[in-house]
């Protein structure tokens, strides 16, 4: 039995008891981890393909150790210009051993990082909904001023005149010019 599973942003074809090097996971050595994003499961001639993932499928693994990959040399050069830059890089990796592949009936693995991020988004969204409520009374306060200043309509903007025309249910106010709006409201 094999599975294609997404682990830390990369897709791997894994089998039971296989050791895999993946990008660094935020889990301590010796702990068990589970991956829910199983894209395909093959069991002999029976192949199950997810769209995009298989619901209830899970791959369980144990973190063996954290290590650094081989050094990669990044050398940049522009000929005839005297430009040479040499950099090195060692990728942070985690070695895991696949312990189980469950085709269905598995529970979703709890992700601590994602759960911590969701309440923060909810808290940010709550003030946004409170602001429009505070803005609504201000909008209601402006028409009171307009009613007081009905004597001098020429000092109002076209937008304010259109709002007044809309409130008085005058038709065709959207295409009227300022002078026409003043004449219709008088």
How many CB atoms are located within 10 Å of the residue 161 CB?
A: 22
Listed as own residue / partner, the contacts of 112-116 with beta carbons closer than 8 Å and 24 or more positions apart are 113/26
- Residue 145: give the domain boundaries: 132-185
- Measured between alpha carbons, how far is 139 from 11 in angstroms, rounded to an integer? 54
Exposed/middle/buried for residue 100 (C-beta within 10 Å: 0-12, 13-18, 19+): middle
Assess if residue 181 is contained within a domain. Answer: yes
pLDDT digits (tens, 9 = 90+) for 127-183: 554 455 555 555 455 554 445 445 578 788 888 888 888 888 888 888 888 888 888
Report d(CA 114, CA 108) in Å as an integer.
13
92 and 158 fall within a common domain: no
- Cα–Cα distances (Å) from 23 to 37, 103, 169, in that order, read 16, 24, 65
Does 116 map to a domain? no
Q: How many domains does the chain have?
A: 2
3-class DSSP assignment, residue 115: helix
In a domain, 29, yes or no: yes
How sure is the predictor about 18, in pLDDT bands with cuts at 50, 70 and 90?
A: very high
pLDDT at 149: 45
Residues 50, 97, single domain; the answer is: yes
- Rounded mean pLDDT of the chain? 81
Same domain assignment for residues 7 and 42: yes
Q: pTM of this prediction?
A: 0.53
């Amino acid at each position: 039995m094999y599975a294609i599973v997404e682990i830390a942003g990369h897709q791997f074809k894994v089998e039971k008891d296989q050791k895999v090097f993946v990008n660094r996971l935020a889990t301590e050595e010796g702990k068990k981890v589970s991956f829910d994003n199983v894209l395909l499961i093959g069991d002999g001639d029976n192949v199950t393909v997810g769209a995009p993932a298989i619901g209830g499928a899970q791959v369980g693994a144990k973190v063996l150790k954290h290590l650094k990959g081989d050094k990669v040399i990044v050398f940049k050069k522009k000929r005839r210009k005297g430009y040479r830059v040499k950099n090195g890089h060692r990728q942070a990796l985690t070695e895991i051993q696949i312990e189980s592949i469950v085709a269905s009936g598995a529970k979703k693995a709890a992700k601590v990082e994602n759960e911590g991020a969701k309440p923060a988004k909810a808290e940010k969204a709550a003030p946004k909904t409170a602001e429009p409520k505070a803005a609504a009374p201000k909008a209601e306060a402006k028409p009171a001023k307009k009613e007081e200043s009905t004597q001098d309509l020429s000092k109002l903007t076209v937008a304010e005149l259109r709002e007044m025309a809309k409130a008085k249910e005058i038709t065709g106010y959207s295409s009227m010019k300022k002078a026409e709006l003043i004449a219709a409201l008088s």
